[in-house]
Homo-oligomer: A and B are copies of this chain.
Amino acid sequence: MLEKNILTATNFEEIASWYEQASSQLGFPEKPQELYEAVNHIMQMKGKRIRPVLLLMGCDAFGGNIETALAPAYGVEVFHNFTLVHDDIMDQADKRRGLPTVHQKYGINKAILAGDVMMMFAYRFISEVPTEILKPVLSTFNRTATEVMEGQQMDMNFETRQDVSVEEYMKMIEYKTSVLLAASLQIGTIIAQASKTDQELMYEFGLKLGLAFQIKDDYLDAYGDERVGKVKGGDIIQNKKTFLAITARNTANEQQKTLLDQLQQEKDTNRKVSETLALFNVLNVPEKTHAFMEKLYQEALDALQKTSMKEEKKAGLQHMAHLIYHREY
């Protein structure tokens, strides 16, 4: 059933390619050149445009005019890129999409300022909607933007903690990643003037899809094929609190907990990864993780099914969800 939908749904590709074309007319001022060249450096890295395309598809699905949604779609992309610029400073990351990060190329001061001005342009583009829907669009975006910052803070807090619970972890990834996917879809539906129920279902669809996506990301890091630019088991090597690591700790007996602690100190990274994975297997971590992410993915699709949009539009969004969730990169 799903496979059939994928074969017939061209909606996603059409919208993505329309966005690529149309958004090229939007952008930033030329002066002060020193500021906007730093902004353009990240904006010109071709990302996957997931968030703006979700916003446009959410609008299109309920009969909205995607032209009306173009500026807000670009706005969420600008916002997402702002978070990348500032996160890269905090993570001291040198590279992004194979290119130097903004602070690496232009220095920390310019990267802070470029991020700041991007956030303002995000608000500006997102506010370019008809007056009668400005308030709900803005309040959805504003709540979401705040949550993304709070999620980043939670993630920073986890670095120095051993006792992170699954609930705390889920709240962190919800805020740091999922709410922006959910809000993008919801803003699209608000622009299309869909019903409150449809708005909430679309938010739910995006939220669950984002959670499934993030947990799959954790899963692939440990069990996936090696991906471009990623080290297999990189999260294990860095002692990151992933869904897998937290689940392992929650299931482990005292002896196994001690072993997990010892493995965190292991200097030989090959041994560290293979022995941690062996312990994960004993604890049924892959099965548990797989079941959990599949459940979230199904809940996302269920929410989509409950909306009042036409079947062909559901197929398009299901296709998009499939691409996001089943990516191997």
Copies in the complex: 2
- The reply to whether the CB of A34 lies closer than 8 angstroms to some CB of chain B is yes
Which among B115, B120, B134 is the interface contact of A146 at CB below 8 angstroms? B120
Which residues of A (108-128) have their CB < 8 Å from a CB of B? Answer: 108-110, 112-113, 115-117, 119-121, 123-124, 127
Assuming the contacts A123-B142, A127-B138, A127-B139, asked whether A32 and B116 have C-beta atoms less than 8 A apart, the reply is no
Q: Say yes or no: B119 contacts A150, CB within 8 Å.
A: no
Q: Say yes or no: A149 contacts B117, CB within 8 Å.
A: yes
Which among B119, B121, B134 is the interface contact of A119 at CB below 8 angstroms? B119
Q: Say yes or no: B127 contacts A113, CB within 8 Å.
A: no
Assuming the contacts A86-B112, A90-B113, asked whether A153 and B120 have C-beta atoms less than 8 A apart, the reply is no
- The reply to whether the CB of A154 lies closer than 8 angstroms to some CB of chain B is yes
- The reply to whether the CB of A279 lies closer than 8 angstroms to some CB of chain B is no
| Measured CA separation A102–B155 after assembly (Å) | 20
- CB-CB under 8 A from A34, the residues of chain B are 153, 156-157
- CB-CB under 8 A from A142, the residues of chain B are 120, 123-124, 127
| Measured CA separation A156–B109 after assembly (Å) | 9
Which residues of A (28-60) have their CB < 8 Å from a CB of B? Answer: 31-32, 34-35
Assuming the contacts A131-B135, A154-B32, asked whether A146 and B117 have C-beta atoms less than 8 A apart, the reply is yes
Assuming the contacts A32-B150, A34-B157, A146-B120, asked whether A112 and B89 have C-beta atoms less than 8 A apart, the reply is yes
Number of interface residues of A (CB under 8 A): 36
Interface string of A56-89 (1 = CB under 8 A from B): 0000000000000000000000000000001001
Interface of A is mostly: helix
The distance from the CB of A54 to the nearest CB of chain B, in whole angstroms, is 21
The distance from the CB of A290 to the nearest CB of chain B, in whole angstroms, is 30
- The reply to whether the CB of A152 lies closer than 8 angstroms to some CB of chain B is yes
Q: Say yes or no: B119 contacts A116, CB within 8 Å.
A: yes
- CB-CB under 8 A from A277, the residues of chain B are none
Q: Which A residues have a C-beta under 8 Å from some C-beta of B?
A: 31-32, 34-35, 86, 89-90, 108-110, 112-113, 115-117, 119-121, 123-124, 127, 131, 134-135, 138-139, 142, 145-146, 149-150, 152-154, 156-157
Ranked 10 nearest A-B pairs via Cβ: A35-B153, A117-B149, A90-B109, A32-B153, A120-B145, A120-B146, A124-B142, A116-B149, A131-B135, A86-B112
Q: List 17 A-B contacts (CB under 8 A).
A: A32-B153, A32-B157, A86-B112, A89-B108, A89-B112, A90-B109, A109-B156, A110-B153, A110-B156, A112-B112, A116-B119, A117-B146, A120-B145, A123-B142, A134-B134, A134-B135, A134-B138
